[in-house]
């Protein structure tokens, strides 16, 4: 399939701190025991929190917004122990945007791939902007956070209760700007928005967010995430992304892959 020619589009990778956690949350049984080694240790993993910024002739799009450090500080001790968040002042979203000469007010469109705390944590910085979210995931998170006062999972009630915010709820694939597509992916949550950007020099880039968080999940063979809403949906996502990758000879930028980020992507690097 021929990809669109969009020489003026640039894609920036922004690192917004990291969450440390057991790798088993991201890859199911990543370090299995055996007869000879029955007591394998867990793998403690530094998970980068990434956002992707697209500079387009018709507007500026931000894909994911990272964590809200102030809100995460208020989590129960057990969650802080399981998923500690680390960031510096330079890793705040506002400062990462400043590194590429932008402010929050310059962004026109914000896409939350899904509503978990490490992807939708800073939506409040863009409440007067166009906000796109996956409908099924948004609905699940809204109901969960507003029906159970003791809920302390990956959704934050504060991400849904932003005064003046208007959310556009997406249910199907769409081209949001010429050369930029949003695709519905399943598995990690009921629905998730993947990003496809067609670049002139670098070719097509697919950002599947947590539908395929690591290269290890993608395979081959694919490896199921540890935390998954729908295992069959994950299999459908793998097939869909492989089809897109083959059609466009695309690169995949994973949402939480420490090795890929440190060796290939690097902070505030851009692709055109």
Percent of the chain with pLDDT over 90: 91
pLDDT at site 267: 64
pLDDT at site 93: 98
* pLDDT at 7 > cutoff 80: no
Q: What is the pLDDT of residues 175-191, one digit of tens each?
A: 999 999 999 999 999 99
pLDDT at site 265: 87
Mean pLDDT over each residue of the chain, to the nearest integer: 94
CATH-assigned architecture of domain 10-25+44-271:
4-Layer Sandwich (3.60)
Contact present, 148 and 197 (Cβ < 8 Å): no
Q: What is the pLDDT of residues 79-102, one digit of tens each?
A: 899 999 999 999 999 999 999 999
Contact present, 184 and 172 (Cβ < 8 Å): yes
pLDDT at site 268: 61
Per-domain boundaries in the chain: 10-25+44-271
- Give the residue-averaged pLDDT of 100-105: 96
pLDDT at site 76: 87
Q: What is the pLDDT of residues 213-250, one digit of tens each?
A: 999 999 999 999 999 999 999 999 999 999 999 999 99
Confidence of residue 6 (pLDDT cuts 50, 70, 90): low
* pLDDT at 166 > cutoff 90: yes
Q: What is the SS3 assignment for 176-202?
A: EECCEEEEEECCCCCCEEEEEEEECCC
pLDDT at site 202: 94
Report CA dihedral (61, 69, 87, 196) to the nearest 10 degrees.
-20
pTM: 0.95
Closest to 99 (Cα-Cα) out of 12, 10, 18, 205: 12
């Amino acid at each position: 399939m021929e990809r669109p020619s969009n020489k003026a589009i640039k894609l920036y990778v922004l690192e917004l701190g990291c969450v440390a956690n057991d790798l088993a949350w991201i890859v199911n049984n990543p370090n299995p025991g055996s007869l000879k080694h029955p007591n394998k240790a867990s793998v403690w993993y530094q998970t980068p929190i990434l956002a992707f910024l697209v500079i387009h002739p018709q507007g500026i799009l931000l894909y994911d917004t990272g964590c809200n450090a102030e809100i995460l500080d208020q989590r129960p001790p057990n969650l802080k122990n399981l998923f500690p968040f680390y960031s510096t002042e330079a890793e705040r979203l506002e400062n990462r945007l400043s590194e590429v000469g932008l402010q929050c007010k310059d962004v026109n469109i914000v896409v939350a791939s899904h509503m978990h705390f490490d992807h939708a944590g800073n939506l409040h910085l863009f409440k007067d902007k166009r906000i796109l979210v996956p409908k099924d995931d948004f609905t699940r998170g809204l109901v969960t956070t507003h029906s159970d006062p003791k809920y302390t999972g990956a959704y934050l009630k504060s991400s849904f209760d932003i005064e003046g915010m208007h959310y556009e709820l997406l249910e199907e694939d769409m081209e949001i700007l010429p050369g930029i597509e949003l695709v519905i992916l399943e598995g990690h949550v009921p629905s998730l928005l993947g990003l496809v950007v067609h670049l002139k020099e670098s070719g097509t880039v697919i950002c599947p967010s947590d539908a395929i968080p690591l290269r290890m999940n993608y395979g081959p063979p694919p490896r199921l995430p540890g935390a998954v809403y729908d295992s069959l949906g994950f299999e459908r996502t793998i097939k869909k992304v492989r089809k897109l990758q083959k059609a466009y000879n695309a690169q995949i930028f994973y949402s939480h892959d420490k090795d890929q980020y440190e060796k290939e992507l690097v902070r505030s690097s851009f692709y055109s």
